[in-house]
Structure 1
Amino acid sequence: MYHTLVILCVVSSLLIGSHESASVEVNKLLKDICDHVQNIQNRTQGLLDTYLSNQGAPFNGSHFSAEQLQLDGLPKASIPYRAWRRMTDEERLLENYQAYSVFQEYFQLVLDDQRDLSPDQTALLHLLDELCHDLAQLLKQLSSAFDALRLPRPLPIKDPLSSLDQQSSPFQRRLRGYLVFREYRLWLLRTHRSFTLLGIQSREAQ
């Protein structure tokens, strides 16, 4: 009997230690995602300014605005607060993963457009290339979050660019890049809030 109790105590101790270790790992991953998103946010406004300054008129004008325009196919970051707050961990992760998978495709398109439209703007092209790298890293972190939270991995997205007009004018292509940047910045804000909330809930559950 004593021997059995000792074994049970040892097993319980190992299980508790394993759970605590997993919780620490999850919290660290969520914090890493928040930090990565914050770093991307800090660089994105400067990159958007650089992008607009290299597009010519009217994009580089001080009064340029296209607030009423939307780009079909882009995931929209705007969501009612109550709906956002009631999302499950899986829904929150899935929407973020799918959104950035779409943005990854669109920013590759923006980079290809700029290589054609502004081939001499090496600084801009380099910054766009870095942005694509940042997105790939973020998607890798989000994939790890599914595993850490023991959620099923998402299915690959369908090609979000399949319906795009391949005959777009240079103006339309430059405007498209701006609209992609604008919605991307809103998603970064939403993601930071979402993963801050996930981190709080994860700590409270310990």
Structure 2
Amino acid sequence: MRSTALLIFLVVSVRRATSLTIPAPVKRSTSSDVAELSKTTIVLFSETQKFVESMKDNADSLLTTYLSFQGAPLSDPEYHLPEVKIDNLPTATMDNATFLNQTDEIRLKNNLYFYSAIVQFLQVAMTEQEDLNPAEESLKAKFQEAMANSNTLISKISAIMTQMGMSVTVTFPDPLVVPYEGSAIFKQKLRGGVICKEYKERVLLTKRDFEFFAKKYHEQLIQQQEQEE
């Protein structure tokens, strides 16, 4: 039973391989950047990968639900959010070379930073919607689920980093979320949409990160399974 659980990390990776941009065939890692993972760390990676998979539906529906309640043009089916810069909002945008060349610590810490920050941005967007759309409890529930998922993921990533001897300290600008100023309601609604979009896109990137880890540590996963038999 335990050996099956340890292989979840690998099995999910194989099934989802088509979503990765890593060129095939994947070169087997033998360089010094491949850490020796403990059994506990392998289980943590497996659990976290499964949890990130479960976050995707909420991330998709949060953005869709948010836009549907904002009125035209934001609620129009063909509307696409413009590229809008929000002070201190972390972005999921990353080119493929950067994605592939990150160390384990940078990859994990980027995720830790993003979700630690996005919780605060989501809270602000939800509070604004309580004023703009006070009757829409379904939207509030989506925000609450996204924040709860982010906090759970923060805990899981922190546990992995601690197991691997990495620092889990993150430092934010002060203030992190710059208060919205002005009376243009459309711009306020647009700002919330961009926050939801960044959250959705980061969940997809985090999914790729843990698929990458599954490929990178393939051999250790197999060895752990063999030891359990």
What band does the TM-score fall into relative to the shorter chain? 0.7 to 0.9
Q: Deviations over 1:53-106 (max 9, x none)?
A: 111121111221223334342222122222221111111111111111111110
- The partner residue of 1:198 within 210, 213, 221 is 213
3-state SS in 2 of match to 1:132 = helix
> What is the count of residue pairs matched by the alignment?
186
- TM-superposed deviation, 1:26: 1.1
**Equivalent residue number for residue 50 of structure 2:** 35
Q: Is the 8 A contact 2:90 2:114 kept in 1?
A: yes
Overall identity of the aligned pairs, in % = 27
Larger radius of gyration between Structure 1 and Structure 2: 1
User: Any conservation in 2 of the 1:37–1:192 contact (CA below 8 Å)?
Assistant: yes
Distance in 2 between the 1:110 and 1:149 partners?
34
Name the residue aligned to 2:125: 110
Task: Provide the rounded CA distance (Å) in 2 between the counterparts of 1:105 and 1:48.
Answer: 17
Code of the residue aligned with 1:133 in structure 2: it is A
The match for 1:121 is 136
More helix by share: 1
Equivalent of 1:48 in 50, 63, 68: 63
1:157-179 per-residue CA deviation (whole Å, 9 max, x = no partner) reads: 33453534343532122111111
Q: Is the 8 A contact 1:102 1:160 kept in 2?
A: no
Please report how far the alpha carbon of residue 143 of structure 1 lies from its aligned counterpart in structure 2 after TM superposition: 0.9
Aligned-residue CA RMSD in angstroms? 2.1
Deviates more, 1:176-185 or 1:22-31: 22-31
Structure 1 length-normalised TM: 0.81
Cα 1:58/1:114, change in 2 over 3 Å: same
1:41 positional shift: 0.8
Please state how far the C-alpha of 1:114 moved relative to its aligned partner.
0.8
Q: Secondary structure at the match of 1:35?
A: helix
Task: Give 1:31's aligned amino acid.
Answer: S
Relative to structure 2, which stretch is displaced further, 127-136 or 65-74?
65-74
Matching residue of 2:182: 167
Q: Is the 8 A contact 1:74 1:102 kept in 2?
A: yes
Unaligned 5+ residue runs, structure 2?
Answer: 1-35, 224-229
Q: What is the distance in 2 between the residues matched to 1:39 and 1:97?
A: 18
Counterpart residue identity of residue 29, structure 1? L
Map Cα deviations across residues 14-39 of structure 1 (whole Å, 9 max, x no partner): xxxxxx9x622212211221111111
1:136-163 residue CA offsets vs partner (Å, 9 max, x unmatched): 1111111111112121222343345353
Instruction: Give the match for residue 83 of structure 2.
Output: 68
Residue segments in structure 1 that go unaligned for 5+ positions in a row = 1-19
SS at 1:123's partner residue?
A: helix
SS of residue in 2 equivalent to 1:165? coil
Given candidates 136, 143, 158, the residue that maps to 2:151 is 136
For 2:40 and 2:175, the matched residues in 1 are separated by: 33
Q: Which amino acid aligns with 2:77?
A: S
- Residues of 2 paired with 1:33 and 1:168: CA distance? 41
**Equivalent residue of 2:217, what SS?**
helix
Deviations along 1:101-147, one digit per CA (max 9) or x if unpaired, are 11111001111111111111111112211211111111111111111
